[in-house]
Amino acid sequence: MASAKIVTWSRKDKNGNFPIGIKVSQNGIPAYLFEGNVLASRDFWDATKQQVKKAHLHHMRITNFLTKRLAEINEKILEFETAKKYSAEDIIEATKPKPVKEISPAPRLPLFKDVADNYLAEQRALGNYDVCKSDTSRLKRFYEFAGNGVTFSKITVKFLRRYTLFLRTGHSRNIH
User: In a structure prediction context, what are the per-residue pLDDT tens digits for the chain, which is 176 residues long?
Assistant: 778 888 888 888 888 888 888 888 888 888 888 888 888 888 888 888 888 888 888 888 888 988 898 898 888 888 877 777 667 777 777 777 667 667 667 677 788 899 999 999 999 999 999 999 999 998 998 998 888 888 888 889 999 999 999 888 876 666 55
Antiparallel, parallel or unpaired: β 45-46 and 18-26: unpaired
What is the pLDDT, as a whole number, of residue 172? 65
Total residue count of the chain as it appears in this document: 176
Cβ burial of 92 (10 Å; 0-12, 13-18, 19+) is buried
pLDDT of 174 reads 62
